[in-house]
Amino acid sequence: MVWAGSSARLDELAKDLGAERRNFDLGKIPKFLAPLKYLVCFLMTQVFLFSRKPTVVYCQNPPILAPLACIPYCAITGRRLVIDHHNVWSMKTFGASALSGALKAMEHLADRTAFLNTVPHDYWRAVISGEFSGRVLTIHDYVERNPFSRNEILRRRVASSGLIGMAASLSFQERVEIEAMGVEKVQGVTLAMTGPPERLGNRLTRLGNLRRVKFLGYLPKTEYEELKASCDFGLNITDEPFTVNHTLFEYAAAALPIISTRSKEIEGVFGDSILYVEESDAGAVAEKVTKFAQDPSSLAEYRERISRRFEELTVSAEHERALLRSLLRDS
């Protein structure tokens, strides 16, 4: 369960566990109506849980109000609550504000009440284990191997020649301007960028006439998967803290060499299989893209590195999910 329009991570976990999926979301509403939105989601959650009577409730945080809304059902029926912490709201979103303290108290209550907490990387595991003393299991994101092969017809729709990079953006903290301007500096490279037009269109338009960037909008899933299989590398420049973007796992599943911002969270998962950018600026991005454009052996090396890492992630994902299934069976 998630109080949002979608969650790729929970989609994958539900598939692995054979679980029913539910999204509760009222779409975009004015901020001053947020309390009403959460009240409606709370009521929808109660109706769903007490009518469906699940044996285990697996709910994603944030918002922390979602797992808190599951506590009454679990307390009354004796069922287990499992919380998946996509991030820790009090730290990532609100910093050291007074609101952060209130959120931390709610997170503490939820984490201590839960039968199990799951997190997407070991940094959040250390936070949950240390600050909230909850029972925590790391379940890394995982994407199955991309089933498509390189499609030359699709490539020609993006560029007639040269290398094609890919950038897929959903978060406002992903630095699409830096990605675009970095590639714009490199001759013989085109950047295929995807994402919601309402979020990205204006940001790219403000950059003026971009000759080497092609914005494709939000693609249907099959076309999106084909595009990844047909590109030469993936680009991930972000200022989002404490996060390992889901697109990195998608690139790995498509055997795409990756150029990415360096962070301890990303490096903790992908190690040296990624070509890292030390500074999030267009010049640094252009330098790494130029390395791939002018040195085919480097591109081949990082394709081999990410392919090896994908195989390792596949093995660890199987182990993590088997352990999760075992814990939930025992519950």
In the chain the domains, ranked by start, together with CATH numbers, are 8-139 (3.40.50.2000), 152-312 (3.40.50.2000)
Helix (H) or strand (E) holding 304: helix 296-330
Phi, psi (rounded to 5 degrees) for 177: -65, -40
Residues near 173 by beta carbon (within 8 Å), at least 6 away in sequence: 238, 239, 240
The pLDDT tens digits for 103-131 are: 888 888 888 889 999 999 988 888 777 76
Query: What residue has token string 């990624």?
Result: 274
Q: Nearest Cα to 41, choosing from 27, 51, 57, 54?
A: 27
Helix (H) or strand (E) holding 87: none
Q: What pLDDT was estimated at residue 141?
A: 93
| pTM for this prediction | 0.88
Q: What are the DSSP E strand ranges found in 189-232?
A: 189-194, 213-217
- pLDDT band of residue 28 (cuts 50, 70, 90) is confident
- pLDDT band of residue 183 (cuts 50, 70, 90) is very high
- Cβ contact 142:121 at 8 Å: no
Query: Higher-confidence residue: 234 or 170?
Result: 234
- CA-to-CA separations, 299 to 189, 243, 278, 295, in angstroms, rounded: 13, 25, 19, 7
Residues near 324 by beta carbon (within 8 Å), at least 6 away in sequence: 13, 16, 17, 118, 137, 139
Q: What pLDDT was estimated at residue 314?
A: 96
Average pLDDT of every residue of the chain:
89
Tokens representing residue 129 in the block: 């284990």
- pLDDT band of residue 93 (cuts 50, 70, 90) is low
